[in-house]
Chain A
Amino acid sequence: MPDLLLELFSEEIPARMQARASEDLRRLVTDALVEAGLTYAAAGAYATPRRLTLALEGLSAQSPTVTEERKGPRTDAPEKALEGFLRATGLTKDQLEARDDKKGQVWFAKVTKTGRPAAEIVAEVVPQVVRNFPWPKSMRWGAGSLRWVRPLHSILCILSDEAGATVVPFDVDGIASGDTTEGHRFMAPGRIKVTAFEDYEAKLRAAKVILDPQARADAIWHDATNLAFAAGLEVVEDRGLLAEVAGLVEWPVVLMGEIGADFLDLPPEVLRTSMKEHQKFFSVRNPASGRIERFVTVANRETTDHGATILAGNQKVLSARLSDAKFFWDNDLRVAKAGMDDWTEALKSVTFERRLGSVADRVERIADLSAEIAPLIGADPEQARTAARIAKADLHSEMVFEFPELQGTMGRYYAEAAGHPPEIAAVAQEHYQPLGPSDAVPTAPLSVAVALAEKIDTLTGFWAIDEKPTGSKDPFALRRAALGVIRILVDNHLRLRLYPLIDRQIVRHKITIHRPRAGDGVIDTLEEIVDEIAHHGVFGSAFRAVLDRLREAGTSHDLSDGSVLHTVGERVPDLSTDLLAFFHDRLKVHLRAEEIGHDVIDAALSKPPVDDLALVVSRARALQDFLRTPEGENLVQGYRRAANILAQAEEKDGVEYRFGADLKFAETEEERALFAALETATARIAPALEAEEFAAAMGHMAALRGPIDAFFEAVQVNADNQILRRNRLNLLHQIVQTCEQVADLGKLSG
């Protein structure tokens, strides 16, 4: 059982591609070897900036010889068919055997595939894999046509066993396989000959290359935390950065340096971002003060001066970078202290989206909606408006221009500098939240109001211009925005109706979109409709009310097909319904984590109001919990039985049995007991529903399970006596109706 060692040695591979590439190499080579009939015991894949390495242990020395029988044409088939079969099998006619088959006499061939030595298979597989490697981006170099991520220089490929190592001979576009590699570019130049994986790994280490990326990452983290600890400090953890840095070095040497005193007062986020983005430095924090006081950089080599020159150079570059950052910070603070008007003014000339106007337009829309949401959730409308207006001012600051990822974070600092109270300043940062499924949701009322308004404005805007997400394409992150709204509402259990908010914001977008071509009167009318939505709840009736009023006042608008008002009037309700359906879809995805089924949510969505997502979720959770109990399961069975019998009878008779089950026609004890139980349950369910205590309501329903089971046990529903039958069917309807009060159990999948 030999071991295989393969190394593809190239110029520097981008750090972000290394992990994926080593895994692809492992998968592609092992798949192809197994396909060719070889087996192996274990596989290890590694990457450094200059090499991808695969080590296979216990590879079969050769593939097995396989004999298979293949069926050919019938013996009376045309000569052509037989010729084709002979060609395909590589046999002659006298080697075939004629046997009876279902359809007559047929030719059979015995084809033997002789086993091949592993080296031969490897020599075929590796060039194939190299030529078709799935790099995210690849290139040609020199005068050749081979593609690799960067120029490929050498290929090491050996099979080794007790007898020693042999090169697997092949050639890829002029690169012949061999048994040598190179060590560290600067510390150990020159070729190294290796005989097996252990020898390879050890010789590389001696040549200042740590092969395993995880070992490099561990070494970096170990040394960095030790250095920081010795100085009474701690390294700010950043796994993404650690993996990236481990992909930039073959021989990591950790150095810790000082941040100039001039820069220590910069906000920690600025220090961290500048150091990470530009220099790939780790931040080192004083645990007592939380301030970032030093940095850790990872060099790719040892030097005779123990890194002094390298550290001095890095420190100098950092000073230049931080001088820029400090320059931006000082300039920005000046604008902020003057009230940030320069920025809010400048946002008028920044396009948000061609059709949806400028960022300033968007900010105004968000401010209006925030002020409307605020009183619904216990925030002050005017504070909400103010907070919304300044929340995006930092988009025009120099710092955010340089570091877009600091948007919001800087906004908060600048709003405080402008003299706004902390709860308003916090909105600048928190209104973007949640940024992803694991990010926190805002809880402060002001932040919630603006965060909701910001996301609803985004969603309604892109709905208004028909830029909805399709398949895997979601360039404006609308799914994330919808999930954000859902999480804010559900996690804070905020009871809000979305329709009025969506309707208002769609009309506001329509105003932005149509302003250039609509007359002033039309815009005024649209603005009036927005105001009316608060009173009417939805767009449709507000629209009709305003138009009626105008008609009475003798003002007439163009309402013909193609007019602005006609288009707006037609489309807004459809868009709202469609957008709410999108929310419901996202809700189903979101609740999957709680193992709440789609059918359970559909059942909950059968009860109005469906635009109050927190309520929908309460229903769905109560129902799902109930279904997990034996009572729930049984009740649903009883419900189904009742619903099925009822549906069959209604179908057959062509009438609906919906009214008037009467106790006086009850014949059996079980019937009377069910009547009584339904009455008791109904009386108890009503107040529970009133209080939105869905679990309690379902508990009262569960009490029906016994009487329903007993009823079906004792009573023949489809009795010969038509009066009894009708009464019992009406009683079944009462069961169904009672059980559907929290959610439509009929929507549950079997």
Chain B
Amino acid sequence: MPNAPDPDAMPDAEKTTRPRSFQEIILRLQRYWAEKGCAIMQPYDMEVGAGTFHPATTLRSLGSKPWAAAYVQPSRRPTDGRYGENPNRLQHYYQYQVLIKPSPPDLQDLYLGSLAAIGIDLDIHDIRFVEDDWESPTLGAWGLGWEVWCDGMEVSQFTYFQQVGGHDCHPVSGELTYGLERLAMYVLGIDHVMDMPFNDPDAPIALSYGDVFRQTEEEYSRHNFDAAETEMLLRHFEDAEAECQRLLAEPHDDPRTGKRIVLAHPAYDQCIKASHLFNLLDARGVISVTERQAYIGRVRALAKLCADAFVATEAGGWTGEAA
């Protein structure tokens, strides 16, 4: 990072606390949560609708084993595409996700510390925890918590998971989700997402968010709304569903190695695929109101099967006694 601003070298007190670019906010969050003991993971290599879908959250929130992870997750919401024109709506955006199990007693304070780390001065802002219960019908998951407001703007989602994939969470995970673009625009004082500095504005090759993403927003908006082949998407949905079920029907003992190898993660990949395909079909407008519920139910059924499988693995807390 040769061009990253060195806080110590900056004379202006204001600049020592305020980040200058989108990526600096991400880097500061990474550093902060790493210091707090989280495993800094990388994005999951599949198309997902939100950071929650990353197996580091969905699956790891299940079972009794402690866990602490933080990561950036590129997220796709095909229906939110606006060809890059809307100041804060994107079909592809970034979430920052933190999951700690069991939720530590000082999670609220830890969270507030992360806001300070990205340059929000807690002495002059008004931070509020406003009731907002979270539910994901496709994951069969719900939790209680808040949306966090900074001077009236929602900057994060804060949730104590109660159920995932139909399983009660024991212990309970605390989940933090930051909508990175929106948060960064707020901290950097930017009105249109495409104008936001992506890297340092004083870098020799300064790039804005628009330089990086305007064209892809256009391409994907067209793709999602008009170009994606719906017949194929429908077929792929069926395939992913069947494959997920087939993988989970495989015996737990692997014939090749003789070991117990449950196919929880490969099956969950298919569940993620089905979920994203459903989102695309929804954006293409080929799913009626009544069918919608049915599709969501099918994805949820897969998520539940995967959750069942995961709790039958070592990472899911399986010890062999229950089998």
A residues in contact (CB < 8 Å) with B: 11-12, 14-16, 49, 137-144, 149-151, 153, 186, 248-249, 279, 297, 299-301, 303-305, 309-310, 312-314, 316-318, 320, 323, 351, 354
C-alpha spacing A316/B125, complex, angstroms: 14
A142 and B172 contacting across the interface, CB-CB below 8 Å: yes
B289: chain A residues at CB < 8 Å are 351
Q: What CA separation (Å) do A16 and B130 show in the bound complex?
A: 11
Distance in Å: Cβ of B60 to nearest Cβ of chain A: 15
B141-163 residues with Cβ-Cβ distance < 8 A to A are 143-146, 150-153, 160, 162
Interchain CA distance A142-B101 in the complex, whole Å: 7
The verdict on A313 contacting B160 (CB below 8 Å), with A139-B143, A304-B124 known, is no
Cβ B103 vs Cβ A141 within 8 A: yes
Complex formed: what's the CA distance from A357 to B160 in Å?
41
B162 touches A15 (CB 8 A): no
Assess whether A320 is in contact with B160, with CB atoms less than 8 Å apart.
no
Q: Of B124, B130, B172, which is within 8 A of A303 by CB?
A: B124
Which residues from A are CB-within-8-Å of B131?
Answer: 12, 14-16
Closest Cβ of chain A: how far from B128's Cβ, in Å? Answer: 6
B108 CB to nearest A CB, Å: 6
Are the C-beta atoms of B126 and A299 separated by less than 8 Å?
yes
A208 to chain B, nearest CB (A): 13
Contact between A142 and B126 (Cβ–Cβ < 8 Å)?
A: no
Q: Is B105 an interface residue when CB atoms closer than 8 A count as contact?
A: yes
* Cα distance, A58 to B219, chains bound together (Å): 73
- Output the least CB separation between B134 and chain A (Å): 11
Can you name 18 A-B pairs with beta carbons within 8 Å? A16-B131, A138-B144, A139-B160, A140-B162, A140-B169, A140-B170, A141-B160, A143-B170, A143-B172, A144-B171, A248-B128, A303-B124, A305-B124, A309-B121, A310-B125, A310-B151, A314-B152, A318-B152
Indicate if B123 sits at the interface (CB-CB under 8 A).
yes
A49, A141, A300, A351: the one contacting B172 at CB < 8 Å is A141
Q: Are B144 and A143 in contact (CB-based, < 8 A)?
A: no
The residue that B290 contacts in the complex, of A12, A141, A320, A354, with Cβ under 8 A, is: A354
Min C-beta distance of B68 to chain A, whole Å: 13
When A186-B122, A304-B124 are in contact, do A142 and B104 touch as well, CB less than 8 Å? Answer: yes
What is the interface of chain A mostly: helix, strand, loop, or mixed?
Answer: loop
A142 & B152 in contact (Cβ 8 Å cutoff): no
Pick the contact of A143 from B102, B108, B186 — CB < 8 Å?
A: B102
Interface digits, B282-296 against A, CB 8 Å rule (1 contact, 0 not)? 000000011000000
**Complex: A249 Cα to B186 Cα, angstroms:** 23
> Are B171 and A142 in contact (CB-based, < 8 A)?
yes
Closest beta carbon of chain A to B275's beta carbon, Å: 25
Contacts of A141 in B (CB 8 A): 102-103, 160, 172, 174
A354 to B293, CA, bound (A): 14
Q: A140-B172, A142-B104 are in contact. Are A317 and B126 (CB under 8 A)?
A: no
Is B133 interfacial (CB-CB < 8 Å)?
yes
- Bound CA–CA A149/B144 (angstroms): 8
CA distance A137 to B132 in the complex (A): 12
Residues from chain B with Cβ under 8 Å of A150 in the complex: 144-145, 160
User: Chain B's nearest CB lies how many Å from the CB of A457?
Assistant: 21
- CB-nearest residue of chain B to A307: B126
Residues of A within 8 A of B130 (CB): 12, 15, 248
Asked if B123 and A143 sit within 8 Å, CB to CB, the answer is no
Collect the chain B residues with CB atoms within 8 Å of residue A301's CB: 126
Q: At the interface, yes or no: B113 with Cβ under 8 Å from chain A?
A: no
- The residue in B108, B143, B186, B290 that gathers the most chain A C-beta atoms within 10 A of its C-beta is B108
CB distance from B191 to the nearest CB of A (A): 8
Can you name 19 extra interface pairs (CB under 8 A) apart from A140-B162, A150-B160, A303-B125? A12-B146, A137-B144, A138-B144, A141-B103, A142-B172, A143-B102, A150-B144, A151-B105, A151-B160, A186-B122, A186-B123, A248-B130, A249-B128, A310-B124, A310-B151, A313-B126, A313-B150, A313-B151, A354-B290
Residues of A near B313 (CB, < 8 A) are none
- A144 and B169 CA atoms in complex are apart in Å by 11
Rounded to whole Å, the gap between the CB of B89 and the closest CB of chain A is: 10
Closest to A299 in B: B126
Give Cα distance in the complex from A300 to B104, angstroms.
25
Question: B87 an interface residue at 8 Å Cβ cutoff?
Answer: yes
Give A626 to B131 CA distance when docked, in angstroms.
55
Indicate whether B228 reaches chain A with its CB closer than 8 angstroms. no
Q: Does B245 contact A (CB under 8 A)?
A: no
Indicate whether A304 sits within 8 Å of B123 (C-beta atoms), given known contacts A15-B131, A139-B143, A142-B103. yes
B230 at interface, CB cutoff 8 A = no
- Shortest A278–chain B CB gap in Å is 9
